[in-house]
C-alpha cells in the first residue's frame, strides 16, 4: 500500500493505493460516505478483497473528511464529485491501468453513480453499497441525519453533532439530478443493500436498480447501513466478485 496526495483547486486530497501483481491491471476508486473516511472497515475489506483478485484500488478522503484539506461545513455533493473527478484524472493518466471501476458507500455511492453518469465512456463498472440518494429528499424535508432546519430558509450552517453542516450542502442537495445523471451510465452496475438499513431507506437502492439499463441488485438480510460485523465480508465479497478480471 502506498500513500498518495492529489491537488484539487488548492486542496490536498489524501488517499491510499493498493497494487496488485503485473504491469497492467484494472483499478477501482473507492468512495466513503458522509462524515466517514477512507479507512472504514468496509472500504479496507473491499480493497483487500480486490487486491486478492488482482484488482488495484485507490481510496481517498473527500474534502473536509479524514486527512484531506477543507472544512466539513464547506463540503457539498457537487465538490465531492469534483474530488472524485480529480482522482479519476489521476487514475486515467496511469499507464498501468486498463479498466476503471467506481465503488461508493452511502453518500459515496451517490458520488460514484453521478461521476459514472458524467463519464460513461471512461468507467467500466460501478458498485453502489447502500447508496444515499435519500439525501435529496432529506434536504427537501428539512431533516438530515438528525439535523433539522427550515428547508425553505436554510441557514448558513446547521449543527450536526460536533460538526457544522453547510447550508450550501443542503441547498444544492435539494436540486441534485441524482438518478437523471446516474442513468446515463449504461455499463454493468451492482447495487448492494441491507434489509436493516436504518440510515437510508432501501427503496432508494431499488430505484437505482430500476433506472439503470444494466444492473443487478443484491439484498443482504439483516445487514445495517455500514455492513458491520459479519455483513462486511459478504458486501466486500460481492463487490470483488463483480469486479474481478474475466481472464
From first to last of its 247 residues, the chain has per-residue pLDDT tens of 999 999 999 999 999 999 999 999 999 999 999 999 999 999 999 999 999 999 999 999 999 999 999 999 999 999 999 999 999 999 999 999 999 999 999 999 999 999 999 999 999 999 999 999 999 999 999 999 999 999 999 999 999 999 999 999 999 999 999 999 999 999 999 999 999 999 999 999 999 999 999 999 999 999 999 999 999 999 999 999 999 997 6
* Longest CA–CA separation in the chain, Å: 55
d(CA 35, CA 72): 8
The pLDDT value given to residue 68:
98
Q: 210-233 as b/e, with b when 16 or more CB fall inside 10 Å?
A: eebeebebbebeebbbbbeeebbe
Beta bridge partners, 227, equal: none
Q: Which residue has the cell 459515496?
A: 108
pTM over 0.95: yes
Cell of 8: 484539487
Number of residues that make up the chain:
247
d(CA 157, CA 170): 9
d(CA 91, CA 98): 10
The DSSP result for 5-31, as a single string, is EEEETTEEEEEEEE--SSSSEEEEEEE
- Residue of 239, 188, 244 lying closest to 30 (CA atoms): 239
The pLDDT value given to residue 203:
97
Q: Is 2 exposed, middle or buried (0-12, 13-18, 19+ CB in 10 A)?
A: exposed
The pLDDT value given to residue 247:
63
The pLDDT value given to residue 246:
75
Residue 124: in which H helix or E strand, if any? strand 123-129
Domains of the chain: 1-241 (3.40.50.1820)
Q: Is 58 exposed, middle or buried (0-12, 13-18, 19+ CB in 10 A)?
A: buried
pLDDT digits (tens, 9 = 90+) for 104-118: 999 999 999 999 999
pLDDT digits (tens, 9 = 90+) for 180-233: 999 999 999 999 999 999 999 999 999 999 999 999 999 999 999 999 999 999
238: three-class secondary structure by DSSP: helix
Amino acid at each position: 500500500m502506498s500513500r498518495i496526495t492529489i491537488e484539487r483547486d488548492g486542496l490536498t486530497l489524501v488517499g491510499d493505493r493498493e497494487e496488485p501483481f503485473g504491469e497492467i491491471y484494472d483499478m477501482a476508486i473507492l468512495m466513503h460516505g458522509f462524515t466517514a473516511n477512507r479507512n472504514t472497515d468496509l472500504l479496507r475489506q473491499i480493497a483487500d478483497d480486490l487486491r486478492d483478485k488482482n484488482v488495484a484500488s485507490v481510496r481517498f478522503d473527500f474534502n473536509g473528511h479524514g486527512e484531506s484539506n477543507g472544512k466539513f461545513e464547506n463540503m457539498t455533493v457537487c465538490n465531492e464529485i469534483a474530488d472524485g473527478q480529480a482522482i479519476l484524472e489521476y487514475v486515467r493518466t496511469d499507464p498501468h491501468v486498463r479498466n476503471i471501476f467506481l465503488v461508493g458507500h452511502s453518500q459515496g455511492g451517490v458520488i460514484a453513480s453521478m461521476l459514472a453518469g458524467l463519464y460513461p465512456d471512461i468507467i467500466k463498472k460501478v458498485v453502489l453499497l447502500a447508496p444515499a440518494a435519500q439525501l435529496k429528499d432529506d434536504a427537501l424535508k428539512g431533516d438530515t441525519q438528525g439535523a433539522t432546519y427550515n428547508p425553505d430558509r436554510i441557514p448558513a450552517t446547521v449543527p450536526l453533532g460536533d460538526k457544522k453542516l453547510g447550508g450550501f450542502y443542503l441547498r444544492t442537495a435539494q436540486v441534485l439530478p441524482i438518478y437523471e445523471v446516474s442513468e446515463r451510465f449504461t455499463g454493468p452496475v451492482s447495487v448492494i443493500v441491507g434489509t436493516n438499513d436504518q440510515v437510508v431507506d432501501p427503496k432508494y437502492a431499488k430505484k437505482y436498480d430500476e433506472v439503470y439499463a444494466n444492473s443487478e441488485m443484491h439484498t443482504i438480510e439483516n445487514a445495517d447501513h455500514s455492513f458491520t460485523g459479519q455483513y462486511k465480508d459478504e458486501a466486500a465479497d460481492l463487490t470483488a466478485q463483480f469486479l474481478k478480471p474475466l481472464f
